[in-house]
Structure 1
Amino acid sequence: MGRPVLLAVDDDAPVLAAVERDLRDRYAEHYQVLTAPSGDQALDLLRRLRLREEPVALLLVDQRMPGMTGVELLSASRRLYPDARRVLLTAYADTDAAIRAINDAGVEHYLLKPWDPPEDRLYPVLDDLLETWRRPAPVANLRLIGDRWSAEAHELRQFLARNLVPYRWMDVEADGQARELLEFAGAGAGELPVVVLDDGEVLTTPDLHQLAARIGLHVRAERDAYDLVIAGAGPAGLAAAVYGASEGLATLLLECNAPGGQAGTTSRIENYLGFPVGLSGADLTLRAREQATRFGAEMLVPAEAVGLLRADPYSVLRLADGGEVSASALVIASGVTYRTLSVPGAAELSGRGVYYGAGRAEAADHAGGRVFVVGGGNSAGQAAVFLSAFAAEVTLLVRGPDLTSTMSRYLSDRIEASDRITVAPRTEVAGAVGTQRLEALRLRSGTEEREVPADAVFAFIGQAPRTGWLDGAVRRDARGFVLTGADLGASPPDWPLPVPPLPLETSVPRVFAAGDVRSGSVKRIATAVGEGAMAVSFAHERLAGR
């Protein structure tokens, strides 16, 4: 496999020459710079590159070309290179085309011509896009063998995918090689799932902690005590880790499953400041994780806090593996979980057609199928749009009369414009039907019930805080969310300091809460990031004795 390709396309010869010159000046050492004078020739070149299995990292395409516009070319290129970064070159008059490209062609950015000087207006954009593009991994030697409809296999697949661990999924029902490999591994059908590691070691029905340790994830703390411990690696926790580590605090970040939290499973975030064309939750998580690690933050995955003890002035966290870690300051950023469907059949089919979150593995498993999304908020809307790129039919089930009061306008507009998404108002799930996997849903509209065929259902129906581990440690509201600052009252009971709690500080000094887990928080990624950064500032204040 050769160097990744950067492909520039423009029918204006002087402009194409200028693009080629600027790309070669900056990127020729690590990338092949290729050009094409038209959309048709560019597509032909992409087909030949695909046949040769050459990686394409980025397409930089002019909008106004005869025969095939830039948007049309970028849309067509998605079938050949779905993971390539896409940039549209536009004039001021083509702003509408650029917006359409964002919505319809998977464009990551658009650039206005002319872009001089490239050091200011071209390279920073392309550097950022290329940094987040990843060369296709070679065929992974880590193999996961299991039944597609196994909840245990689904959990392992989700864990590996969300932690960006390359692996090869082998369905024992559909893949003869999987059955042959099981024989070599000395495992039987009743011992699934099985993981075959790079070195040939076989793990039979491993739990997440065992798997993480064997594939090289960091699962045990290097120290007994830290300046700052953060429980939860969603946007709030990652922001706290970045700011804490960058300011010199010995920082430990604990995550029970995978960095990113619920935001990490979001297919496309389009209202985050500074990213006008949006970005995926996985992309945002990758950037934040690398940033925190670069500043020296230590991250354990999976590492779940199961209890909190006080040894003034320190907090001691008990971990699920039996270990303990001490913190001079603690940030609770453990977030929330989606509530489960409390209807007959749903629990038994969890991970086998009933899902809470929509990742690429689940979407690919149900390509061409009939899927349902439950919920009327932004998470449900984003999932519906994402799944519509795979499923033949997506039905969004909402309890209200429409989406106007619960979903952002940009999302509801996209759902309305989609020919694959249908909104079913005043409809809820009354039951899940199936034996080995989900086969149908019972839907209720008013007093009427009906049964409809279903391949999968993805539920986004409210949130419950991950705060059970805080029982008896910090004060919470009636729903379990952590109380902070002024919400604790003017004179919190048993508050030991002569000054009141700081904003984001809990009923225990030096213990802060940030993000969705905090009572009264705004459930948005941007506010969670802001609170994570603020919590570190307040922690500094307390650690300084103020």
Structure 2
Amino acid sequence: MAKPIILAVDDEPHVLNAVARDLQERYRGDYRIVKALSGQEALEAVQEFKRRGTAVALFVVDQRMPGMSGIELLAEAIVLYPEAKRVLLTAYADTNAAIASINEVALDYYLMKPWDPPEEQLYPVLDDLLDAWAAHVPVPYDGIRVAGTLWSPRSHQVKEFLARGQIPYQWLDIEKDDEARTLVEASTEGRSVLPVLFFPDGTLLEDPDMHVLADKVGLRAPALKPFYDLIVIGAGPAGLAAAVYGASEGLKTAVVEREVPGGQAGTSARIENYLGFPQGIGGADLARRAATQARRLGAELLVAQEVTGVRVDGPYRIVTLDDGSELRCHALLLATGVALRTLDAPGLERLLGASVYYGAATSEAANYQDRDVLVIGGANSAGQGALFLSRYARSVTILVRKDSLRHSMSQYLIDQIERTENITVSPSTEIAAVTGEHSLETVTLVDRASETSTTVRADAIFIFVGAMARSDLVRDLVEVDDAGFVLTGQDLLAGGRRPRGWRLRRDPLLMESSVPGIFAAGDVRHDVVRRVASAVGQGSVAVTAIHRYLDTV
């Protein structure tokens, strides 16, 4: 943590040096002493401290300076640092101005120049002020800060990206925090660009592209090799399991992930039925552990890099990345998972990312403290999301199309939901429409049993409905079912025929697609159990089949 700042300002160099000398003598062990020769120079320094998240404990400012007086400087500086203590250096002729500034800028003290000896005239005053500051000002946050508005979809995307990547950050809502708004205005010179990210090194990003942000926080790195034994597309549970087993068994393995590791499971607030974690584990935490394990065993994780194309060239499978580069491998594993199906109710799309969210949106839950939220869906992800939201929201209502949760949700989640006082389940219910200009206001619900509708007020909607296969990359290359899920192994032999274009004498291996050497695991496969443990098992078993394939290459 950087030392708090004591800022000394005087336009006369010899006076400024004397002030700084006395401050250094007494306070250099606990504070950083900074000098400025003018009010404008001091104000620029204060703005830079704020961008860096550095605390300012004390201003020691001369009153009579050209261009900007001490009182004028303090009036602007305390907008950014309202808790900092303020001392004005004056001559006899400035006494009236100093007294007037006690009310104008809440001046803590004014000192006559000269103040010798400092042991009697300076240090006792400053000691008291600094002790008071240290006792009442919290330790400043020394990390990434994200400034934006709750109703900004782009702010939500940035927060969700950082949260899923387990990158710590502090949220600054400029609609609620005047200090944060002033910081943004000063740093962006009035440009209306949100969100703004402030980094500890003093740099900032305005509404960054996710690739740029990934580079900045150290998530994105180029591939180290042009060729691999195995490339895995997708870093959900299946992809990470394949990376762990592939790397541990000596395969040169790379995993390409378009966002951050974890997949849909990574958005789960808590997974309580995964073997080996009796207290449950957060999806992001499970993903972090698995990614660390894969890297330790030698796998490369190419994060925030999207595969834009897949093709076959003889014995090689080639993937094209979004930066135009290409990677080659002998075996390719599709672990791209699924995307949540979107709802088509009028008004929803306009509020997406601004009180309407697909998935758990754990980064937003705390913003709905003591508010009323709706959860749409009846599977495990909806139950986990509802339980997490219930820690913050005044009420959580689960809307499910079927007559109960028992058709698709695990019993342990149902039991917890029934024990949670602020969660209500509304069966046989669908959303018909929503209203709200900048954020959600009302929701029209339809009872499927009675075909009656009601309108209720709500502050946010979290949607967990259905799943669509993320197989667009390969739908023209491998065989898929009518819903787009990849057919593998025995599913390709239905009706006693082999896949179209299959030239090998052998049948497709377990989890092998209709193109030899391209495999699939996890939720993107046809007719699988969509659970974390199932995906991990498939990713692990797929490596065994890939070894068999590599033995023939």
**What's the TM-score bracket when you normalise by the shorter of the two chains?**
0.7 to 0.9
Describe how 1:53-202 pairs up with structure 2 within 5 A: 139-188=141-190, 190-202=192-204
Question: Which sections of structure 1, spanning at least 5 residues, go unmatched?
Answer: 2-136
Query: Does residue 455 of structure 2 align to residue 448 of structure 1?
Result: no
- Which deviates further from its counterpart, 247-256 or 273-282? 273-282
Give distance in 1, aligned partners of 2:193 and 2:152: 12
Give distance in 2, aligned partners of 1:468 and 1:328: 21
Matched with 2:234 is: 232
Q: Structure 1 pair 538/187, CA: closer, same or farther in 2 (3 Å)?
A: farther
Task: Name which of 498, 501, 518 aligns with 1:511.
Answer: 518
Give distance in 1, aligned partners of 2:492 and 2:360: 36
- Which deviates further from its counterpart, 394-403 or 193-202? 193-202
How many Å apart are 1:189 and its aligned residue? 5.1
Give distance in 1, aligned partners of 2:210 and 2:501: 39
Alignment check: 8 A CA contact 2:400 2:427 kept: yes
Give distance in 2, aligned partners of 1:401 and 1:187: 55
Structure 2 length normalisation: TM-score?
Answer: 0.72
Task: Name which of 527, 530, 552 aligns with 1:545.
Answer: 552
Task: Name which of 406, 411, 414 aligns with 1:412.
Answer: 414
Task: Name which of 324, 338, 341 aligns with 2:340.
Answer: 338
Task: Name which of 479, 485, 493 aligns with 1:481.
Answer: 485
How many Å apart are 1:493 and its aligned residue? 1.3
Give distance in 2, aligned partners of 1:318 and 1:348: 33
Structure of greater Rg: 2
Q: Structure 1 pair 445/187, CA: closer, same or farther in 2 (3 Å)?
A: farther
Q: Structure 1 pair 283/214, CA: closer, same or farther in 2 (3 Å)?
A: closer
Matched with 2:133 is: none
Q: Structure 1 pair 244/138, CA: closer, same or farther in 2 (3 Å)?
A: farther
Q: Which amino acid aligns with 2:472?
A: G
How many Å apart are 1:143 and its aligned residue? 1.8
Residue identity over aligned pairs, in percent, reads: 49
Give distance in 1, aligned partners of 2:359 and 2:350: 17
How many Å apart are 1:525 and its aligned residue? 0.8
Task: Name which of 487, 498, 502 aligns with 1:491.
Answer: 498
Query: Does residue 538 of structure 2 align to residue 534 of structure 1?
Result: no
How many Å apart are 1:291 and its aligned residue? 0.6
Alpha-carbon displacement from aligned partner over 1:183-225 (angstroms, at most 9, x marks no partner): 3323435211112223222222111001111221124212222
Alignment check: 8 A CA contact 1:336 1:466 kept: yes
Provide the alpha-carbon RMSD of the alignment.
1.6
Describe how 1:330-479 pairs up with structure 2 within 5 A: 330-446=332-448, 447-479=451-483
Alignment check: 8 A CA contact 1:266 1:379 kept: yes
Give distance in 2, aligned partners of 1:445 and 1:329: 50
Alignment check: 8 A CA contact 2:436 2:442 kept: yes
Give distance in 2, aligned partners of 1:427 and 1:387: 20
Alignment check: 8 A CA contact 1:209 1:219 kept: no
Residue 478 of structure 2 aligns to a residue whose secondary structure is coil
Alignment check: 8 A CA contact 2:475 2:484 kept: no
Give distance in 1, aligned partners of 2:429 and 2:471: 31
Matched with 1:295 is: 297
Query: Which stretches of structure 1, 4 residues or more, deviate above 6 A after TM superposition?
Result: none
Give distance in 1, aligned partners of 2:329 and 2:444: 49
Question: Which sections of structure 2, spanning at least 5 residues, go unmatched?
Answer: 2-138
Alpha-carbon displacement from aligned partner over 1:347-368 (angstroms, at most 9, x marks no partner): 1111111111113321111111
Alpha-carbon displacement from aligned partner over 1:314-361 (angstroms, at most 9, x marks no partner): 111122232221121111000001111211111111111111111332
Alignment check: 8 A CA contact 2:256 2:302 kept: yes
Give distance in 2, aligned partners of 1:258 and 1:413: 32
Residue 228 of structure 2 aligns to a residue whose secondary structure is strand
How many Å apart are 1:501 and its aligned residue? 0.5
Alignment check: 8 A CA contact 1:140 1:167 kept: no
How many Å apart are 1:256 and its aligned residue? 1.1
Matched with 1:280 is: 282
Number of residue pairs the alignment of both structures matches = 411
Alignment check: 8 A CA contact 1:140 1:166 kept: no
